[in-house]
């Protein structure tokens, strides 16, 4: 079942063409790794799918709903964690998740918050304010608000950025636990993560898809992934 469908998306900022006609689709059970150099258009593409930005051209369809024609319905089925995992600094972790649950109008919000705190191993910092969290917890909180409603579509912009190996392992563990029921897009620029995290790879450079194939096929391109990456994104 196709949960994400991206059709010829284009987005420019003034004279800069950030995304120049990207198309792909993601099925349930797939975890797509977005690879590409900084400024390649990965984040912009994710923002377009999540409805933060409006596309100049093309369409993004999330769980059957066009994000610009039916934004509320589409966003109901979508969890999105922006780069850097923004959150309200003065709120505690529990309050922040409760706020997210309330805005999503979830049934049994306190139960959802409790489950999410457990799932993301945030219990020990539940009463701390967001400002006082370490980077690892902060990133996990960004992840937590994105999965609190158990969405079918999950879009995570660099969820492992700046985490230590143990924390990265944790994020991967949680992702794997839920991946079979969802369509997931994860951006990263850590090539070694692909094998652990993804089932499929999309390489983006200069606002275009340079390569879209299964993880196995991608890993066969060469022993030195850095070299493969350089050639694909040149």
Partner 1 sequence: MSSESSPSTPSAPSAVWAIFNREFAGYFRTPLAYVFLAVFNAFAISLAFFVGNIYEAGVANLDRFFLYHPWLWAFLAPAAGARLWAEERRQGTIELLLTWPISVWQVAVGKFLAAWLFLATALFITLPIAFTIGYLGDPDVGVIVSGYLGSLLCAGACLGIASIASALTRNQVIAFVTGFLACFLLVLIGYGVFDEFIGGLFSRNIIEEVRRLGLWRNLEPFTLGLVDLRPVAYFLTLSFGGLGLSTIIIERR
Tell me whether strands 78-81 and 153-157 are parallel, antiparallel or unpaired.
parallel
Cβ of 24: how many Cβ atoms within 10 Å? 17
Shortest CB 82 distance to partner 1, Å: 4
According to CB under 8 A, which residues from 87 to 126 bind partner 1?
87-91, 99-100, 102-108, 112, 115, 119
Q: Which is nearer to partner 1, 51 or 229 (CB)?
A: 51
According to CB under 8 A, which residues from 21 to 50 bind partner 1?
47, 50
Q: Is 126 helix (H, G, I), strand (E, B) or coil?
A: coil
Contact with partner 1 (CB under 8 A): which of 18, 53, 179, 202? 53
Q: Which is nearer to partner 1, 109 or 207 (CB)?
A: 109
Q: How many residues bind partner 1 (CB under 8 A)?
A: 40
Q: Which residues contact 36 (CB under 8 A, 6 or more apart)?
A: 42, 187, 189, 203, 204, 205, 210, 233
Counting contacts by CB under 8 A, is residue 7 touching partner 1? no
According to CB under 8 A, which residues from 172 to 231 bind partner 1?
178, 181
Shortest CB 50 distance to partner 1, Å: 4
Tell me whether residue 7 is exposed, middle or buried, using C-beta atoms within 10 angstroms of its C-beta: 0 to 12, 13 to 18, 19 or more: middle
Q: Which residues bind partner 1 (CB under 8 A)?
A: 47, 50-54, 71-73, 75-78, 80, 82, 84, 86-91, 99-100, 102-108, 112, 115, 119, 145, 149-151, 178, 181
């Amino acid at each position: 079942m196709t949960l994400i469908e991206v059709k010829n998306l284009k987005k420019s900022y003034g004279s800069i063409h950030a995304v120049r006609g990207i198309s792909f689709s993601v099925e349930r059970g797939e975890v797509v790794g977005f690879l590409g150099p900084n400024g390649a258009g990965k984040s912009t593409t994710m923002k377009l799918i999540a409805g933060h930005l409006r596309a100049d051209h093309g369409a993004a369809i999330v769980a059957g709903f066009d994000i610009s024609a039916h934004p509320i319905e589409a966003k109901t089925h979508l969890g999105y964690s922006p780069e850097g995992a923004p959150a309200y600094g003065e709120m505690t972790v529990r309050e922040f998740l409760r706020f997210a649950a309330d805005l999503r109008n979830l049934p049994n919000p306190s139960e959802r918050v409790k489950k999410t705190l457990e799932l993301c191993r945030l219990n020990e910092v539940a009463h701390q304010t967001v400002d006082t969290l370490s980077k690892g917890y902060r990133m996990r909180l960004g992840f937590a608000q994105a999965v609190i409603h158990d969405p079918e579509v999950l879009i995570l912009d660099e969820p492992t950025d700046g985490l230590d190996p143990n924390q990265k392992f944790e994020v991967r563990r949680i992702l794997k636990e839920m991946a079979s029921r969802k369509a997931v897009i994860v951006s990263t620029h850590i090539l070694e993560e692909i094998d652990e995290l993804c089932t499929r790879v999309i390489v983006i450079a200069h606002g275009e898809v340079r390569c879209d194939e299964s993880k196995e096929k991608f890993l066969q391109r060469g022993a030195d992934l850095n070299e493969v990456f350089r050639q694909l994104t040149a």
